[in-house]
Amino acid sequence: MAALQATEASPEWLNKGDNAWELTAAAMVGLQSVPGLVILYGSMVKKKWAVNSAFMALYAFAAALICWVLWAHRMSFGAQMIPGLVGKPKTSTEETYLLSQYEPYYIPKADYVLYQFAFAAITVILLAGSLLGRMNFYAWMAFVPLWLTLSYTVGAYTIWGPGFLEEQKIIDFSGGYVIHLSSGVAGFTAAYWVGPRHSHDRQNFPPNNIIHMMGGAGFLWLGWTGFNGGSPMSAGLITSLAILNTHLCTATSLLVWLSLDMLVYKKSSVIGAVQGMITGLVCITPGAGVVAPWAAVFMGAMSGSVPWYTMMVLHRRSAFFQKVDDTLGVFHTHAVAGLLGGILSGVLAKPSLLRLFT
């Protein structure tokens, strides 16, 4: 009983179970980036670009944390600076702020700062997937804090913070719009302006280590347990459903993508399986805890087929898509899958589950 009594270190409002889960979820999201995407990027590109690609992910993770606690978290979730668009830059390092309750939940604000940092970091790292193979590292060092400050904070504030889109009750359970649509569109735009790789690099672009690539993908998949499971800010019923739906959609999407590869190209593809896995994870993100399991399976079937078509068919037929050198196809795996998931979430979300989440 003594362990349940309120103390200065464990105030009455603190739920230790929720606190422990939220910290675990934040750590799992962090593991998706480091080492997950570090390994994935370093193994999916040609050997000559492996170190640069992996280092881009590692640097972005560190730089994002410093930017996040010094000004970007408050710009995303704090008092408004530009009404409806973005908050005032302010540090999130004060002890009184971090150890106060993040209402209406039963966790300290430090948990929320850490969890949202992991989201911000993985967003800019996902964007990097469009630029691998030719991005100057020093230009990337400048790009990360600028994009995080001028773009990511606006998306987070408008949808998750007290912005004008939040007032419209847009369904974005874990970042289908804030993270995946924004990273896909920003990556595609950046790839357009940076320019393409040399033609011989674009035509012959095998991964340098397939085993490591699958290992990095594994970190990404299992880390999504925390990605979607942490959004309710508690270890409640909606959390369990969100996690189960995440894996149902992902497995379905992978199998559908793999099946389409075998039907059309008469062979299976490890890279295709990884792409199908990613589109499933992305598609379920905006609705993970607010759709039924059958809907998650349906979303997996759609995420394994629609992005497959845009990447494998439409991309090759479009002169514009061919002009833009999106190295890992982030536009298709994140922007297309994220938008698809957002639309399907709006159609398939159950009011009873929405009430549990909101």
pLDDT of residue 204: 77
CA neighbours within 13 Å on the CB side: how many for 315? 19
* Tens-place pLDDT, residues 146-155: 999 999 999 9
115-173 tens-digit pLDDT: 999 999 999 999 999 999 889 999 999 999 999 999 999 999 999 988 888 767 788 99
Q: DSSP strand E in 86-212: where?
A: 86-87
Q: What Cα–Cα distance (Å) separates residue 27 from each residue in 66, 165, 295, 331?
A: 17, 29, 28, 26
| Residue 5: per-residue pLDDT | 73
| Rounded percentage of the chain residues whose pLDDT exceeds 90 | 83
Q: Which residues of the chain have pLDDT under 70?
A: 1-4, 167, 358
pLDDT tens profile 249-268? 999 999 999 999 999 999 99
pLDDT of residue 84: 87
The CA dihedral of 331, 68, 119, 145, to the nearest 10 degrees, is 20
- pLDDT in the model for residue 319: 86
217 with 274: CB under 8 angstroms? Answer: yes
pTM, two decimals, is 0.94
Give the pLDDT score at 2: 54
Instruction: Please give the pLDDT value at position 310.
Output: 95
What is residue 30's predicted lDDT score, i.e. its pLDDT?
97
Give the per-residue pLDDT at 205. Answer: 80
Side-chain half-sphere of 87: how many Cα atoms within 13 Å?
25
Compute CA 335 distance to the chain's CA centroid, rounded to the nearest angstrom.
Answer: 11
> What pLDDT, on a 0 to 100 scale, did the predictor assign at position 215?
96
pLDDT of residue 3: 59
